[in-house]
Chains A and B, each alone.
Chain A
Amino acid sequence: MIELRSLCRTYRMGSEDVHALNNVTLNIKKGEHIAVVGPSGSGKSTLLNILGCLDRPTSGSYRFSGKEVGDLGEVELSGLRQRWIGFVFQFFHLLPRLDAVGNVEVPMLFAGVEKEQRRQRSRRALEAVGLGHRLRHKPEELSGGERQRVAIARSVVMGPRLLLADEPTGNLDRHSAEEIMDLIEQMNAEGLTLIVVTHDPAIAKRAGRIIRLEDGRVIEGGVDLQPES
């Protein structure tokens, strides 16, 4: 489903060029559970943002479900993010002024879904993550684990094919972290391709394949030689 070929992402910092991603080649098949690991500054976040179409490569190719992302315009990229890609972040990033249902509705707002439908889908998504009893609560009234679950519900409410998680358990205690990983792994089992960026080896071990980055390069696990299942 995902193919990166000789992908580079370079920033200009002052008078120097920083190669956040340097000649990255990898592929990811549908339904895989991938962990992306590496030390600080290795380019994990950059990779995630490229994969999530939040950033464009400086050079190289990124094919998502056969489409060349570099050729797509702004509107089409937004559409990709809207329909096919879901995000989960370390710091949850819920809107404090909305309750749980309201937060999960946000992506549907921008997709033009009408009110009744939004309500229903949002409720269902929250029930699916076990928060059916917390629908009207604001983020400040929820625990860390509950907030992340709302974020997950939000990320899957549009029915994406790919879920990108950036340190999803980084801000949670041990117990909540387990619950969250169980949750997204369950979704992965149901067919959602899952990519988790983490520096926690315990989390990384749960993945089907580990891609290791260092200094912007893939040093391990980039290309899976097994055929697509």
Chain B
Amino acid sequence: MRTIDLIRFAIGALVGHRLRTILSVAGVAVGIAAVVALTALGEGARRYVTGEFEALGANILIVIPGRVETTGAMPFGGVTHDLTLDDVRAMKTRIRHALRIAPLAMGTETVRYGGLSRSLPVIGTTSEFQEVRRVTMGAGRFLPEGDMDQGGSQVVLGIKAAEELFGSGNPLGRIVRIGEWRFRVIGVMAPRGRGLGFDFDDLVIIPVRTNLAMFNKTTLFRVFVEIDGADAMRISEQELEDLMEARHRVKDVTVIAQDAVVESFSSILGAMTLALAGIASVSLAVAGIGIMNVMLVSVSERRTEIGLLRALGAGKGQILTVFLAEAVMLSGFGGLLGLGMGLAAVAVFIEIYPAFPAAPPLWAIASAIGMSLGVGAIFGVWPARDAVKLDPVQALARR
């Protein structure tokens, strides 16, 4: 039997009973739509997070003071051997593949202008940070290049911090007070949002030397080392660890390759997306059972028709194929409809949250289509075999 005739015949049967066809199709559509929408959200989350990391720039090694042997705990807080600007100088000379190195010091302080004040994170770093962290400026400029030992009194504001303190006024050139110290605003960063736990719009950046002095610290919070190529990452990681061990006489720093972090986040979120999709698939299973039920009823209703077809020369295999085709088409249409619904829902979501890159991954779309066809095939087999088992003799004896 030709395929197109088979399809037309099956469609004819489905159209004959519109309500049950619509409901069965709708069931599969709901399930597929759920899967598509959820995987889109999950993928969006994954891309958002990895995107955040990629904004850091590729090929970055992060040096963190402190080393803990118990697995899982990230080092933070007080350490016995400081990570100093001297260490950074040594890195600049000794790490062959280092392209740029940006030290980072942290503190929290009240920032004041006019009558307004806010308690904000105060980051101390150098001009290299702009490249390493791909900072775009909204107005003015970033910290000036120069010797990192030269503390300056310039400050760069995050966009939200600027708005809070200056309203609609122009902050450039103005003097703000950070704690007891005075700083001149030389730039405002473009809106950026959160990244790696910091809200970049809601902080201020000053030269690193000044920061260390202000908070009376000698140790840096982090050092970012940009490497000139992906192949040099491994060697550079080892070089950094060795260099620090030699300088501190102990292994008391942790060097992390930023892509390792991205990897683990990516796989966690990927697993989460898969889990969500799995849950949504429960709807598909229920829809499949619905199709099976409807097909079984249909088969028993069409007893006479089946007997007739056999009399007209249709083989058992052909009858099986017809009913199987009906089931597959029910779920197939449902799949296409669900795909459309799911994509529409994602489009609406993107309208509301443009910053969130929700998009159903290709593997999800492909498996959605595959699943919808599969549901029909799996749940259609039993009713189809039922149809074949019917005794045409008895069927035709009736009306």
Contact = CB atoms under 8 A, between A and B. Distances in A.
A81 B2 contact: no
Chain B CB within 10 Å, residue with most, of A46, A96, A110? A110
Contact of A110 (B12, B313, B393, B396): B313
A78 B313 contact: yes
B1 A109 contact: yes
A114 B2 contact: yes
Interface of A: 45-46, 49, 52, 54-55, 74-75, 78-79, 81-83, 85, 87, 89, 91, 93, 95-98, 106-107, 109-112, 114-115, 154, 158, 166
19 contacts: A45-B393, A49-B393, A49-B396, A52-B311, A54-B393, A74-B316, A75-B317, A81-B312, A82-B314, A85-B313, A89-B396, A91-B398, A91-B399, A93-B308, A95-B305, A97-B12, A109-B2, A114-B2, A166-B396
B392 interface: yes
B304 interface: yes
Nearest to B316: A74
Nearest to A98: B12
Contact of B313 (A74, A79, A89): A79
B315 interface: yes
B312 to A, nearest CB: 4
A220 B176 CA distance: 122
A119 B171 CA distance: 83
B49 interface: no
Contacts of B309: 106, 110
Interface of B: 1-2, 5, 9, 12-13, 15-16, 304-305, 307-318, 392-393, 396-399
Contacts of A111: 1, 313
A103 to B, nearest CB: 10
Given A87-B312, A110-B314, A45 B1 contact: no
Nearest to A84: B313
Contacts of A97: 12-13, 15-16
Given A45-B393, A78-B318, 17 more contacts: A52-B311, A54-B392, A54-B396, A74-B315, A75-B317, A78-B315, A79-B313, A82-B313, A89-B308, A89-B396, A96-B16, A97-B13, A97-B15, A110-B309, A110-B314, A111-B1, A166-B396
A109 B9 contact: yes
B305 A110 contact: no
Q: Please list the 3 inter-chain residue pairs (A to B) with the smallest Cβ-Cβ separation, ordered nearest first.
A: A82-B313, A78-B315, A107-B312
Contacts of A55: 393
Nearest to A94: B308
Contact of A75 (B312, B315, B393, B398): B315
Nearest to B17: A97
Contacts of A106: 309, 312
A154 B312 contact: yes
Given A75-B315, A98-B12, A109 B5 contact: yes
B314 A78 contact: yes
B399 A54 contact: no
A75 B399 CA distance: 27
B312 A54 contact: no
A93 B392 contact: no
Nearest to B2: A112
A81 B314 CA distance: 8
A97 B398 CA distance: 19
B310 A54 contact: yes
A95 B314 CA distance: 15
B311 A87 contact: yes
B318 A110 contact: yes
